[in-house]
Amino acid sequence: MTRPERFEDAPESPLLEVTKLATHFLTPEGRVRAVDGVSFTLERGRTLGVVGESGSGKTVLADSIMGLLPRRGVEQHGSIRFEGREIVGLTPTEMRPYWGAQMAMVFQDPMTSLNPVMRIGRQITESIHEHFSVPREDARESALALLRSVDIPDPERRLLEYPHQLSGGMCQRVMIAVALACGPKLLVADEPTTALDVTAQAQILDLLQAQQRERYMAMILVTHDLGVAATRADEIAVMYAGRVVERAPTRALFADMRMPYTDALLHSIPRLTQPSHTRLEAIRGRPPDPLRILPGCRFAPRCTYARDRCRVEEPPLRPADTPGHEFACWYPINTPASAMSG
Amino acid sequence: MDESPRSSELLEVETEIAARESPPRGRRRAFGVSGWIAVGWMVLVIGSSLLAPILPLADPDVSNASIARQGPSSAALLGGDANGRDVLVRVVYGARASLLIGFGAIALGLVVGGALGLLGGYYRRGIDAGIAGAFDVMLSVPALILALTFTVFFGPNVRNMILALGIVAVPQLGRITRANTLAWSDREFVLAARAQGARNGRIIVREILPNVLPAIFSIALLGVAVAIVAEGGLSLLGAGVKTGTITWGTMIATGRANLAITPWVVLAPATAIFLTVLALNFLGDAIRARFDVREAAL
Compute the CA torsion angle A316, A321, A325, A331 (nearest 10 deg).
-40
User: Cβ–Cβ of B195/A100 closer than 8 Å?
Assistant: yes
In order of start, what are the domains of chain B with their CATH numbers?
A: 6-297 (1.10.3720.10)
User: Cβ–Cβ of A122/B2 closer than 8 Å?
Assistant: yes
In order of start, what are the domains of chain A with their CATH numbers?
A: 16-233 (3.40.50.300)
What CA–CA distance (Å, rounded) separates B29 from A201? 38
Q: Give pLDDT tens digits for A286-320.
A: 888 888 888 889 999 888 888 899 999 999 998 98
Strands A326-327 and A243-249: antiparallel
Which segments of chain A does DSSP mark as H helices, in order? 58-66, 92-95, 110-113, 120-131, 136-149, 155-159, 168-180, 198-215, 226-232, 250-255, 260-267, 308-312
User: Cβ–Cβ of B196/A97 closer than 8 Å?
Assistant: no
Q: Which residue of A has its CA nearest to B194?
A: A99
Most distant CA atoms of chain A, gap in Å: 68
Least CB–CB distance from B192: residue in A92, A113, A116: A113
B225: which residues sit within 8 A by CB, 6+ positions away?
Answer: B102, B276, B277, B280, B281, B284
What CA–CA distance (Å, rounded) separates A305 from A331? 7
Q: With a cut of 50, list the residues of chain B below it in pLDDT.
A: 1-8, 10-11, 13-28, 293, 295-298
Chain B: give the shortest CA distance to residue A236, in Å.
24
A25 and chain B in contact, CB less than 8 A: no
Report which DSSP code applies to A219: E
Collect all residues of chain A within an 8 Å Cβ-Cβ radius of residue B196: 99-100, 104, 126-127, 130, 178-179, 181-182
Backbone angles phi, psi at A178, to 5 degrees: -60, -45
A94 and chain B in contact, CB less than 8 A: no
Q: What is the pLDDT of residue B289?
A: 75
Cα atoms in the Cβ-side hemisphere of radius 13 Å centred on B279: 18
User: Cβ–Cβ of B2/A116 closer than 8 Å?
Assistant: no
Cα atoms in the Cβ-side hemisphere of radius 13 Å centred on A140: 11
What CA–CA distance (Å, rounded) separates A67 from A94? 10
User: Cβ–Cβ of A117/B199 closer than 8 Å?
Assistant: no
B124 and chain A in contact, CB less than 8 A: no
Q: Pick from B208, B190, B191, B118: which is nearest to A69 by CA? A: B191
A27 and chain B in contact, CB less than 8 A: no
What CA–CA distance (Å, rounded) separates B97 from A288? 68
SS3 A278: coil
Collect all residues of chain B within an 8 Å Cβ-Cβ radius of residue A107: 188, 191-192
User: Cβ–Cβ of A126/B198 closer than 8 Å?
Assistant: yes
Collect all residues of chain B within an 8 Å Cβ-Cβ radius of residue A118: 206-207, 210
User: Cβ–Cβ of B188/A100 closer than 8 Å?
Assistant: no
Chain A: give the shortest CA distance to residue B195, in Å.
5
User: Cβ–Cβ of A109/B298 closer than 8 Å?
Assistant: no
ipTM of the complex: 0.84
What CA–CA distance (Å, rounded) separates A88 from A81? 8
Distance (Å) of CA B219 to CA A85, B228, B239: 50, 14, 26
Q: Give pLDDT tens digits for A59-95.
A: 999 999 999 988 888 999 999 999 999 999 899 899 9
Q: Which residue of B has its CA nearest to A96?
A: B197
Q: What is the pLDDT of residue B84?
A: 74
SS3 A41: strand
Collect all residues of chain B within an 8 Å Cβ-Cβ radius of residue A166: none
Contact A150, A164 (CB under 8 A): no
Report which DSSP code applies to A195: T
Cα atoms in the Cβ-side hemisphere of radius 13 Å centred on A194: 19
Chain B: give the shortest CA distance to residue A245, in Å.
29
Least CB–CB distance from A127: residue in B20, B189, B196: B196
A117 and chain B in contact, CB less than 8 A: yes
Chain B: give the shortest CA distance to residue A21, in Å.
20
Collect all residues of chain B within an 8 Å Cβ-Cβ radius of residue A112: 187-189, 298
User: Cβ–Cβ of A68/B191 closer than 8 Å?
Assistant: yes
User: Cβ–Cβ of B192/A175 closer than 8 Å?
Assistant: yes
Q: How many CB pairs under 8 A join A and B?
A: 89
Kindly report each contact of residues A302-311 with a partner whose C-beta sits within 8 Å and lies 24 or more positions away, as own/partner: A302/A264, A303/A260, A303/A261, A304/A260, A304/A264, A305/A260, A305/A331, A305/A333, A307/A331, A309/A342
Q: Residue A135, Cα to own-chain centre: how many angstroms?
A: 34
Which segments of chain B does DSSP mark as H helices, in order? 6-21, 25-51, 87-123, 125-140, 143-154, 158-185, 188-195, 200-202, 209-236, 248-255, 264-297
Q: What is the pLDDT of residue B29?
A: 54
Q: With a cut of 50, list the residues of chain A below it in pLDDT.
A: 1-5, 7, 338-342
Chain A: give the shortest CA distance to residue B17, in Å.
8
User: Cβ–Cβ of B196/A100 closer than 8 Å?
Assistant: yes
Q: Which residue of B has its CA nearest to A116?
A: B211
Collect all residues of chain A within an 8 Å Cβ-Cβ radius of residue B193: 115, 126-127
Least CB–CB distance from B188: residue in A107, A136, A181: A107
Q: What is the pLDDT of residue A11?
A: 57
Task: Please count the residues of chain A.
Answer: 342
B150: which residues sit within 8 A by CB, 6+ positions away?
Answer: B160, B163, B164, B167
**In chain A, which among 161-200 make CB contacts under 8 A with chain B?**
162, 164-165, 175, 178-179, 181-182
